[in-house]
Structure 1
Amino acid sequence: MRGNGPWKVAAGAAAIALLAAGCSSGSSDDDETLPNTISIGISEPESLIPTNTTEMNGSSVLSSLFYPLVRFDEKSTPYLVAAEAITHDKANKVWTIKLRPGFTFSNGEPVTSDNYINAWNYGAYGPNGQLGAYFFSKIDGFAAMQAVDPDGDGPKKAGEPKAQKLAGLKKINDTTFQVTLTSGFAGWATVMGYDSFYPMPKAAFSSDGVLAKDYGEAPIGNGPFKMKGKWRHDSQIQVEKVADFKGTIPKVDGITWKIYQDQGAQYADLVAGNLDVQTKIPIESLASASGDLGNRLQKSPSSSFAFVGFPTFEKEFSNRDVRRALSMAINREDMTDQIFLGSETPAKSFVSPVVEGYKANTCGDNCEYNPVKAKQLYTAAGGPKDIKITYNADGGHKAWVDAMCNQIKGSLGINCTGVGEPKFADLLKKVEKKEPVGLMRLGWVMDYPLMEDYLGPLYTTDGSSNYYGYSNSAFDDLVRQGNDAKTTAQAEKLWGQAEAILAQDMPVIPLRFGQNVFGHSEKVTNVSMDLFQKVDIYKIEVAE
């Protein structure tokens, strides 16, 4: 997920989901003083429509409003949640999903097969422009929902896709539906744990395939909480417990997702007891956090991957030797030690260590600090004498971007400037429009625990979070072959070969693998965060 992917992803992923990790002082609210309610800090989400939410802030809110088909255990193995059974044929091509009976949306509508089919069709239909559309691309009929019909034969007008529905979705009955993929994919059950695969109620649509205008301001979900009022942009999003919820029941009665535009202000609220959870301690507070918070400062594994992308479609960065040289000009160890105080580790691979199939140092020499070789390579390739690195200022990235620029200046003897965009959404809009932003600060948190999630969305030619215009047909083919493999072990071998191509082409500079470094107030206990950088809303509780 843009991490925060997509960018999940970091965002996240991811995503990617591409990651937007920080955020402005959230406003206080009288409801926060009610018993058994908590507050969690986030940045302003990009969207709260499941098929359009591909970054961490919106994804976190959706996790309280919706209940997925599957969740993941500590070994990243999917287990059934809203699904009662998920089965498939020998070819891993036809998947049958049986829903648990008795579930309803927060407005009382029963959850049926139609709610999944309608939501997925909406997400996959090209003209709807949903950021999560890519994740439906493995379902049969997806291409026909994107392709333009130049002739406009029959009922379709010229320029419209040939189909409005996924051919691979079939209703068996109210609680069972079938998904047919274009080719077998052993990891499909894992993929269905992602946000884009949530159901949406009838109330979400004003007519067949047309989303109600204000649905994204107060989404109705099938999860343990429901919206309390509407999304108060740049301020807060409040949710309250759903009565008689049929799934796992949280221990708190409500959550205020407080929206910040500055991580420092968020941290000040945390220390003062005006915020219950901050999911990422800002860089400038890492040194003092232990003294400020004591045992309320915690760490746990995360799937986050920080990197900088090249606009490969621009001439000055189209030469891969320029990209390799810039990667070699960076001292990752110094950055992680001095800026992040060891809270993150140098990344020299493109896939996170938390997923099966990870291999260390797949980037090889291209990710080793070698200023002499870097300058030789950069000069020979005719690299630009001035570069900029654009980042989102609401994510607390200035310190490390400035440090990275200083390293590049020292190694290559060129000018390097960090440029901050106010919000993650501002940066994303410029990147999507291919406006000149120079190198792009990006991040990814996995959407689902497979190697493929660090490869397909980010680097395939049609990847949902491929903002750098990278395209390599051999890479695309290997990712596709991995998807078609009959076992995950076979898939990981092929995906590993695809990763080796990235190590040669260097469309991005791998920088850091992160961990969750978070803090909480004295008001709450049993606070934990998962690999997806989300607070476990089912375990957290108000201290007695």
Structure 2
Amino acid sequence: MKFKRMWIAVPTALALALTACSGGTSSNTAASGETAGDPTRLIKAWSGEPQNPLIPANTNEVNGAKIINQVMAGLVYYDLTGKTKMDVAESITSDDDTLWTVKLQKDRKFSDGTPVKAHNFVDAWKMGAKEAMLSASFYADIEGADDEGNGDLTGLNVVDDYTFTIKLKQPVSDWPDRMGYAAYFPLADSTLTDPEAGGEKPVGNGPYMLESWTHQVGAKLLPNPHYVGDNKPKNNGIDLVFYTSLDAAYQDLSANNLDILDAIPDSAFTSYMQDLQNRGLNQPSAVFQAFTIGGLDHFTGEEGKLRRQAISMAINREEITEAIFAGTRTPAKDFTSPVVDGFNDKIPGNEVLKYNPEKAKELWAKADAISPWSGSFKIAYNSDGGHQAWVDAVANQLKNTLGIDAGGNPYADFKSFRSDVTKRLITTAFRAGWQADYPGQYNFLAPLYGTGGSANDGDYSNPEVDSLLKQVFAGSHEDSIKTLEKIQQILFTELPSIPLWYANTTSGWSANVENVKFKWDGVPDYVNITVK
């Protein structure tokens, strides 16, 4: 096992590093000229300031993704249940799972009226790889890319205006199912020419277009008049309000001054359904939460392996999920999610996730025999995302079980937190989360634990894991599941991150809107929400 320090050319880190719950500034006022009962008004939804300019391949956090996934459309999209449906692509075919041919719909346009052509996909992907953007690892299977997805994607070739081919290094049977992720979105000609301008105001081909983005305040999305796909908006647009406090957002929701809140604060877990008169939801989603320990002092080699396992066994996940989250979280049994195919809660090695204080003390003592513990153990987190309570609870359990000084390391907001994570400036453990980019176990493992993965913020590197990741799609579906389980067995031993729990979609909506549903990944189905 090795933890290496990586510096990536500017950009962001989405892997859709869910990495994040969000934050921003509270605003109780409706858009100018709008009233709560006005059916022409925009849907007011909770969000936070994106980390970086809005270039899809360089956005791997949820605040930026909330905008990008509405103003952009990919080759495919995922319906409410996570099923893959054709979007801009008319077909994605292959005879050998290695050479894929993509034929595009010929009626798709960007919001500036220009047509969506094959080169808009090819050139966007090539730019992401050439510039080593944060989601570049999603290109790693394409010929020409290195193992981290960087380089010249020689495997991409434009056949004609509406056809291109993708040559992979090896067979990948689920390749079409990946194509709905932001790293595979197209870029308009104007953005390819001037990425800086395109990042500030994207020219997209999705259901909405970005009308305005007032930094640290909010963003307004209006229906894209050129969009003709399956997800045509049934409302007049989305007013994303950036909050600095989740509690403030909940107060606005309770007063019907905010329409959509897709993260209930822990202070309201036991009361939100009653407070909102059952206008709320608590359902499983493809969200995994953990905290990452990089190559810190005392956490490398055999000593580090022992300490990671001790910390994991010192955490009473059942107690925290019940006391703090009131059943809106489920203790983790693996590194993926119960809602994706192949989930197994009995993978050998996962006993390290069970609360076992005596074993934790024993392992910690063995680590001390190698090198005595010194200092304190801190977990960094963003204060605007509702994380303080569980971080404090975990820290107290570590104090009580291991007899060490432990606590939180709060950041004021998500943007500053993610910036330090991306720049490798955090010198403590830090909270982590993953909201799946597409429905599959591979997506929970490759970006986070493959060497150079787009969301591998702890810089974990294990040649055996990398080798197994390349073998995942070499055989049958059953073989793939077995290979993914082998990878997890290694992760249970080395614990590059400490799995905590799976997050349910806990959300609420105002009395002013209806037809509110949430997708397989916990994201609101914005296009179908309507104003009463």
TM-score above 0.5 = yes
Q: Is the 8 A contact 1:13 1:446 kept in 2?
A: no
1:137: Cα distance to partner?
1.2
Q: Is the 8 A contact 1:386 1:414 kept in 2?
A: yes
What does 1:3-18 correspond to in 2, within 5 Å? Answer: 14-18=15-19
SS at match of 1:205: helix
Aligned partner of 1:132 in structure 2 is 135
1:394: Cα distance to partner?
1.3
User: Relative to structure 1, is the Cα distance of residues 83 and 531 closer, same or farther in structure 2, using a 3 angstrom cutoff?
Assistant: same
Specify every segment of 5 or more residues in structure 2 that has no aligned partner in the other structure, as ranges: 1-11
What does 1:111-510 correspond to in 2, within 5 Å? Answer: 111-125=116-130, 128-143=131-146, 165-206=152-193, 211-229=194-212, 231-248=213-230, 249-318=232-301, 319-362=304-347, 363-382=349-368, 383-384=373-374, 386-483=376-473, 485-510=474-499
1:63: Cα distance to partner?
1.9
> What amino acid sits opposite 2:56 in the alignment?
P
User: Relative to structure 1, is the Cα distance of residues 261 and 215 closer, same or farther in structure 2, using a 3 angstrom cutoff?
Assistant: same
1:169: Cα distance to partner?
0.7
1:12: Cα distance to partner?
8.7
1:74: Cα distance to partner?
5.0
User: Relative to structure 1, is the Cα distance of residues 145 and 535 closer, same or farther in structure 2, using a 3 angstrom cutoff?
Assistant: closer
1:27: Cα distance to partner?
6.6
Over the residues paired in the alignment, what is the CA RMSD in angstroms? Answer: 2.0
Q: Distance in 2 between matches of 1:102 and 1:433?
A: 41
Q: Are 1:43 and 2:48 an aligned pair? A: yes
Aligned partner of 2:5 in structure 1 is none
Q: Is the 8 A contact 1:124 1:133 kept in 2?
A: yes
Q: Distance in 2 between matches of 1:223 and 1:299?
A: 28
Q: Distance in 2 between matches of 1:139 and 1:146?
A: 8
User: Relative to structure 1, is the Cα distance of residues 385 and 413 closer, same or farther in structure 2, using a 3 angstrom cutoff?
Assistant: farther
1:463: Cα distance to partner?
1.3
Q: Distance in 2 between matches of 1:120 and 1:488?
A: 28
Matched residue count: 508
Aligned partner of 2:9 in structure 1 is none
1:23: Cα distance to partner?
4.2
> What amino acid sits opposite 1:345 in the alignment?
T
1:51-98 C-alpha deviation (Å, 9 max, x unpaired): 1111111111112211221122455331211111110122x1011111
> What amino acid sits opposite 1:200 in the alignment?
L
What is the aligned counterpart of 2:93 among 87, 90, 97? 87
1:244: Cα distance to partner?
4.7
TM-score in terms of structure 2 length: 0.91
Q: Is the 8 A contact 1:139 1:182 kept in 2?
A: yes
Q: Distance in 1 between matches of 2:33 and 2:178?
A: 36
Q: Distance in 2 between matches of 1:364 and 1:65?
A: 40
Q: Is the 8 A contact 2:20 2:61 kept in 1?
A: yes
Q: Is the 8 A contact 2:14 2:62 kept in 1?
A: yes
User: Relative to structure 1, is the Cα distance of residues 416 and 169 closer, same or farther in structure 2, using a 3 angstrom cutoff?
Assistant: same
1:145: Cα distance to partner?
9.8
Q: Distance in 2 between matches of 1:539 and 1:431?
A: 35
Q: Is the 8 A contact 1:44 1:261 kept in 2?
A: no
Q: Distance in 2 between matches of 1:239 and 1:74?
A: 21
Q: Distance in 2 between matches of 1:492 and 1:31?
A: 54
Q: Distance in 2 between matches of 1:76 and 1:519?
A: 21
SS at match of 1:295: coil
> What amino acid sits opposite 2:228 in the alignment?
K
1:249-305 C-alpha deviation (Å, 9 max, x unpaired): 110011111111110111111111111100111111212212210121122321111
Q: Distance in 2 between matches of 1:529 and 1:129?
A: 33
SS at match of 1:294: coil
1:239: Cα distance to partner?
1.2
Aligned partner of 1:151 in structure 2 is none
Q: Distance in 1 between matches of 2:46 and 2:101?
A: 38
1:440: Cα distance to partner?
1.0
Q: Are 1:103 and 2:108 an aligned pair? A: yes
Q: Is the 8 A contact 1:194 1:448 kept in 2?
A: yes
Q: Distance in 2 between matches of 1:268 and 1:288?
A: 13
1:432: Cα distance to partner?
3.2
Aligned partner of 1:535 in structure 2 is 524
1:182: Cα distance to partner?
1.2
Specify every segment of 5 or more residues in structure 1 that has no aligned partner in the other structure, as ranges: 1-10, 148-162
Q: Distance in 2 between matches of 1:178 and 1:339?
A: 50
Q: Distance in 2 between matches of 1:129 and 1:498?
A: 26
Q: Is the 8 A contact 1:36 1:541 kept in 2?
A: no
Q: Distance in 2 between matches of 1:489 and 1:442?
A: 29
1:216-265 C-alpha deviation (Å, 9 max, x unpaired): 11101001211213x11111111111225211211001111111111011
Q: Distance in 2 between matches of 1:338 and 1:504?
A: 28
Mean Cα displacement is larger for which, 100-109 or 286-295?
Answer: 286-295
Q: Distance in 1 between matches of 2:141 and 2:23?
A: 33
User: Relative to structure 1, is the Cα distance of residues 286 and 75 closer, same or farther in structure 2, using a 3 angstrom cutoff?
Assistant: closer
Q: Is the 8 A contact 1:344 1:512 kept in 2?
A: yes
> What amino acid sits opposite 2:353 in the alignment?
C
Q: Distance in 2 between matches of 1:437 and 1:23?
A: 25
> What amino acid sits opposite 2:440 in the alignment?
L
Q: Is the 8 A contact 1:186 1:487 kept in 2?
A: no
Q: Distance in 1 between matches of 2:88 and 2:164?
A: 13
Q: Distance in 2 between matches of 1:353 and 1:104?
A: 37
> What amino acid sits opposite 1:365 in the alignment?
E
Q: Distance in 1 between matches of 2:55 and 2:34?
A: 25
SS at match of 1:228: strand
Q: Is the 8 A contact 1:65 1:222 kept in 2?
A: yes
User: Relative to structure 1, is the Cα distance of residues 294 and 12 closer, same or farther in structure 2, using a 3 angstrom cutoff?
Assistant: farther
Q: Is the 8 A contact 1:526 1:541 kept in 2?
A: yes
Percent identity of equivalent pairs: 35
Q: Distance in 2 between matches of 1:22 and 1:491?
A: 38
1:31: Cα distance to partner?
5.8
